[in-house]
Amino acid sequence: MFVNMRLQTKYALAVASIGLLIMSCIGIFWTVNENLAESKESEQMIDSENRQSQKSLDYQQAQLKVKNSLEIAEAAAELKAEKKEKRDRVNEVKLAAEQAEKQREAQVIAKANLEVTIRDFLGNEGSKVGIVFYDLSTGTMISINGDKKFTAASTIKLPLAMIIYDKVSTGARKETDTLKFSEKSREGGTGILQGKDLSSPIKISTLVEDCIKYSDNIAANMLITSMDFNQFKNEEDGKLGITTNHAANEITAFGAFNALKKLNDGANQGNKGYITIINLMKQTIFNDRISNNISNSIVAHKIGNYESNVHDIGIIYTKNPYILTVYTNGLRNPNATISGISDIIYAQQSGT
């Protein structure tokens, strides 16, 4: 019996050992399975993360491609726009050049036609005149005997007035300065001082006004004798842009043009004295030549008469302003001739 009990005990221990072994194996199995499951789950998570990362990377790459495509497209569009802008600029310059060339051609034709018309109008008396026409907008010029010398007569009072106001602008003189009359300044002819009491001094500004508005000879002489004569004549040459015979009071149509151009340019630059002179020229009482058929308000001019020399010079402020100087000597009807020349040019410049 004792033997049986020992056997039973050994059997029980063996069974227990086997059970423990089986349990251990089962535990190991479950542990291994759990580890495998966790490892698999971890791998799946990593794989999922990798896939997400790849998707994100793919998305970013796709976005980058789109961005690059847009930038390339924008760059191409900008390049295209730049090329178009350059072409447009080239075309604009080309068009402007073509238009300028057409305008020059039109001006040349108009100038030629105008000169032919004037010469036809003068007929066989063309050699007795000196004419300069100058378009202040285009610079177009017509000169017919522009360098021919004439006795200036009272047209010389224009550069005289400019010289006086030059001295006022530099402070060498004042408009309110006065001059006393002396008998050496007395002269007949045009003006308003011949019949006046000249015992009182006269302001410089009044003498200039009398010179320009009324072509007063006494006023001009008083202004001239208040200066050194040779200095005055040199300054006069400077205004005319020519060298004159100081003893002969000579002038040319081109010289008078130079003076008028300087007068107009100075007035445009704000020279108050020159503005005053232009306004006085518009108020002259002599209107039987350049301004015969034109409103006095747009014609700033100065006439001159000496024996058979009959002249008129001025700036005509139409929509296309211009300078016109006309000198004549020995014409049958000088006033009508000057008026006719003026009408021909005015019609073209005003578009009438």
How far apart (Å, rounded) are the C-alpha atoms in residues 331 and 263? 29
User: With 90 as the cut, is the pLDDT of residue 332 above it?
Assistant: yes
> Among 193, 164, 157, which Cα is nearest to 305's?
157
The more confident residue out of 131 and 61 is 131
What average pLDDT does this structure show over 291-314?
A: 97
> Is pLDDT above 60 for 32?
no
Average pLDDT over residues 15-21: 63
Average pLDDT of the residues of the chain: 88
Residues 211-237 have a mean pLDDT of 97
Cα-based distances in Å from 121 to 33, 104, 126, 231, 350:
127, 25, 9, 41, 19
* % of the chain beyond a pLDDT of 70: 82
Quickly state the pLDDT bin for 14 (edges 50, 70, 90): low
Angle at 162 between CA 248 and CA 128, to 5 degrees: 40
Across the range 5-22, mean pLDDT stands at: 62
Neighbours of 85 (CB within 10 A): 10
Task: Tell me what pLDDT residue 147 has.
Answer: 98
The first and second tokens of residue 156, run together, are: 């010389």
Band (pLDDT 50/70/90 cuts) for residue 2 is very low
Q: How far apart are CA 64 and CA 52, in angstroms?
A: 18
Q: Is the pLDDT of residue 3 over 80?
A: no
Return the CATH number of the domain spanning residue range 128-350: 3.40.710.10
Reply yes or no on whether the pLDDT at 98 is more than 70. yes
% the chain with pLDDT above 90: 67
Among residues 259, 254, 252, which one has the least CA distance to residue 236? 259
The pTM score is 0.74
Look at residue 52 and tell me whether its pLDDT is greater than 80: no
Which residues partner with 142 through β-bridges?
133
